[in-house]
Structure formats: C-alpha cells, structure tokens
Amino acid sequence: MAKLYFNYSAMNAGKTTILLQSAHNYRERGMTPLLFTPALDDRHKTGVIKSRIGLKADAIAFKKDDNLFECVRQCLEKENVHCVLVDEAQFLSRDQVYQLTDVVDRLNIPVLCFGLRTDFQGELFEGSRYLLAWSDQLDELKTICHTGKKATMVVRVDDNGYALREGSQVEIGGNERYISVSRREFKEVFFGGKPIKLIDPLEKQLKERAKDPQNELLE
C-alpha cells in the first residue's frame, strides 16, 4: 500500500541529499520517480533540486495554485510513475497537501515529502502543519545544535548573531543567516536576546587563512 511520508528536521540535516539518493535508488531499479520543488526556491535555478554536497536533479517547479494531483495524473498518461518526491515541502499549501493524499489514495503512488517543521519564529509552516496532520508516516531527520544537543528549531540571525524576530516567513536567498538550534537554545536566543557565536564555513576559513601573510612565514 502506498503511503504519504513526511521527513522533517531543522536545517542542515541532509533532507535534500536523502531525497536525491531516493530518486537515484528508484532509477537504478528501472523505476521512474517524479520530483517536485517550489518555484519560489531559485537559489540554484528554478526547477532544480541541489544538495549542499553537490548532488542535483531536475524537478517540476510548482506554484501555490498548482494542482499537484492533476500534474501527476498528466505525467501518468505519458509514462509510469513509481514515486513522488517533494523538496522544501513546508512551502506546500493546504490544498496541495490534500492533493498529495489523493496521489496516494487514488493513484496508489507513494509520496515522500522533505521539509522544515517550523520557521524562524518557531511557528509551523502551512505545508508542514497539514503534513504532520495527514501523513501516514512521520520521520524526523536528526541534526545537532552548536551546544551538542539535538537541533529541532531554526533561528534567523543578523551579522552579529542576534535573532531576527520579525520579517517575512519566507526569505529565499536573503542575507540573513539561519542556524539550527535546540529548543532550549532557541528560547535563549529568540526570547532571551542571547547572541549565537557564528561559525564560518570551512572553505571561508581556509580562504581567510590563505590571505594572511603571517601564515606564509609559519609554513
């Protein structure tokens, strides 16, 4: 029996990597996965799903008013579809989550959704709310807060590491930084005003180190 799955986590837990690996596994067995990604996510290119480790695949870019059930049904007229995979599923509308349940219930095709549970204010995204309510199976993907505890929430911070408490729920490609934190750390940062110590990516650290002439003397 087909099921609707919701795989959720904070950021940097490898959701997109797992989605792309799942798509690869289907293709490797001669089966056809159908991939969806929100059109508003244009960080790389509209209609492309790309993970932080470099894996990528083409996908159908959907908008808020698109009918995903009809889209899958039309694709079925051209070729068999064995699985539907949805990236950034928090951006689904309530109606689209319902349409995905129809893909499962009426077309008997499994649907695997991957996304965030809550936004930078600790509130549920619309898509996540209804996926949590209507999915057959919920799976939490684990990642770690800088404190060493399990990260379950996300904060948006400024250049000094202080939480931004206002703003649009969706900030694709913005300059704000998103940090995955534990619930305890979220409360201290978002409500308590505590700054987070920002950790630069390894690549940036190496570039800065290479620019420092003192390093040449030490090598």
Residues 176 and 161 in one domain: yes
Residues 82 and 113 in one domain: yes
Beta bridge partners of 179: 155
Residues 101 and 186 in one domain: no
Residue range 85-143, pLDDT digits in tens = 999 999 999 999 999 999 999 999 999 999 999 999 999 999 999 999 999 999 999 99
- The yes-or-no verdict on residue 196 having pLDDT over 90 is no
Choosing from 142, 170, 188, the residue where a domain stops is: 142
Q: How many CB atoms lie within 10 A of CB 100?
A: 29
Choosing from 127, 142, 157, the residue where a domain stops is: 142
Cα 13 → chain centroid? 9
Residues 86 and 50 in one domain: yes
Q: How many CB atoms lie within 10 A of CB 78?
A: 7
- Given this model, what pLDDT does residue 201 score? 53
Q: Does a structural domain hold residue 180?
A: yes
Residues 174 and 135 in one domain: no
Domain of 70: which CATH number? 3.40.50.300
- Given this model, what pLDDT does residue 217 score? 43
- For the segment 45-70, the average pLDDT, to the nearest whole number, is 89
Range of the domain at 181: 144-201
Active site residue 70: no
- For the segment 163-187, the average pLDDT, to the nearest whole number, is 78
Beta bridge partners of 57: 49
Rounded to 5 degrees, what are φ and ψ at 180?
-85, 130
CA distance 13 to 7: 11
- Given this model, what pLDDT does residue 138 score? 97
- Given this model, what pLDDT does residue 208 score? 55
What's 12's DSSP letter? T
Q: Does a structural domain hold residue 131?
A: yes
Active site residue: 28, 70, 77, 88, which one?
A: 88
- For the segment 7-16, the average pLDDT, to the nearest whole number, is 91
- For the segment 70-95, the average pLDDT, to the nearest whole number, is 96
Residue 219: pLDDT band (50, 70, 90) is very low
- The yes-or-no verdict on residue 205 having pLDDT over 60 is no
Residue 177: pLDDT band (50, 70, 90) is confident
Residues 134 and 29 in one domain: yes
CA distance 216 to 204: 18
